[in-house]
Amino acid sequence: MTAERLARPAARNELSEFVRYCREQASPEELGISPGPRRRTKGLRREEVATLAGVGITWYTWFEQGRDIQVSDDFLNRLVRGLRLDRAEQEHLYALAGRVARRSQAQVSELPAGLLTMINALSDPAYILDKRWDVLAFNKAASEQFPMFGEQNPNILRIVFFSDAYRKSVRDWQSTARLMFLKARHDYLTGGSDPILRGLLDEIVDAFPLAKKWWSDPEIVRIGDSRKELHSANFGWRTFHLSVLVYEDRPDIRIIVYSTG
């Protein structure tokens, strides 16, 4: 993807307001910019950010004004580096732009080594999720059961709702999708109303009319143990018992194990 237009005016405005906020919070001195004796602008000037991001001042001004212009991943990456945004700010920037921030190898390496050793020692499929349903790590058996894990930044919700391969590999896709959506809704409502997870849920609601009804469904479902029948090229149809494990030192992650026994 080279460049995309931000389709909705509200999305463009939210993105431009967030970038303007980051610009005003940035320290010229920390970025090697002399503030000068007559600086009245809070944080950085627009032309300074434009220079850091490698774009013209006119284009950047249009961007901050929320105009309907094309925004590339390369520009967003340069903006992240130029303003020295932290991980949370970077993820929020990408979410507002309708993109998925690339997960760095450092994020995976931050997982407890013991957990990685444990899932890799299992012969059954196992993977580690964060609260946004991103797949942070998975073992060999999981990669065989879910080939789509090999795609960049796999996310369980995206796989369930937008992967044709997954839809063909699960019995009763609609029931599975509904329960998954209700679990993710519960995570969103009880987990601090994460804007990135909300953006993904909104994307699902926009794409699937049934999800609009599910959002108002009074049934409360939280992530937990369950059963699922899945198909794979190597084993055909198998019934799995899904166990959800938590790690006391990292309440933000969950370990999902698919047992066949």
CATH of the domain at 193: 3.30.450.180
Comparing 30-39, 130-139, 230-239, the range with the smallest average pLDDT is: 30-39
Q: Assess whether 52 and 169 both reside in one domain.
A: no
Mean pLDDT of the chain: 85
Residue 97 neighbours by CB under 8 Å, 6+ apart: 6, 11, 15, 71, 76
**End-of-domain residue from the set 96, 123, 154:** 96
Could you give the CA distance from residue 141 to residue 162 in angstroms, rounded to a whole number? 22
Give the residue-averaged pLDDT of 38-45: 78
Q: Which CATH number belongs to the domain containing residue 25 in this structure?
A: 1.10.260.40
pLDDT, position 28: 84
Decide if pLDDT at 59 tops 50.
yes
pLDDT, position 164: 94
Comparing 54-68, 101-115, 117-131, the range with the smallest average pLDDT is: 101-115
Could you give the CA distance from residue 135 to residue 255 in angstroms, rounded to a whole number? 10
Q: Assess whether 115 and 59 both reside in one domain.
A: no
Q: Assess whether 161 and 241 both reside in one domain.
A: yes
pLDDT, position 11: 66
Decide if pLDDT at 31 tops 50.
yes
pLDDT, position 30: 81
Could you give the CA distance from residue 49 to residue 16 in angstroms, rounded to a whole number? 13
Decide if pLDDT at 130 tops 70.
yes
Residue 184 neighbours by CB under 8 Å, 6+ apart: 133, 157, 197, 200, 201
Q: Assess whether 56 and 183 both reside in one domain.
A: no
Structure-model confidence comparison of residues 248 and 87, the more confident one: 248
CB–CB of 31/22 below 8 Å? Answer: no
Look at residue 85 and tell me if it is in a domain. yes
Q: Assess whether 20 and 61 both reside in one domain.
A: yes
Confidence of residue 103 (pLDDT cuts 50, 70, 90): low
pLDDT, position 2: 42
pLDDT, position 225: 73
Q: Assess whether 122 and 247 both reside in one domain.
A: yes
Confidence of residue 6 (pLDDT cuts 50, 70, 90): very low
Q: Assess whether 252 and 148 both reside in one domain.
A: yes
pLDDT, position 106: 44
Phi first, then psi: what are they for 4, rounded to 5°?
-140, 150
Name the residue range of residue 149's domain. Answer: 106-259
Q: Assess whether 72 and 157 both reside in one domain.
A: no
Give the residue-averaged pLDDT of 54-64: 91
For residue range 149-187, what is the model confidence (pLDDT) as tens digits? Answer: 998 889 999 999 999 999 999 999 999 999 999 999 988
| Domains identified in the chain, total number | 2
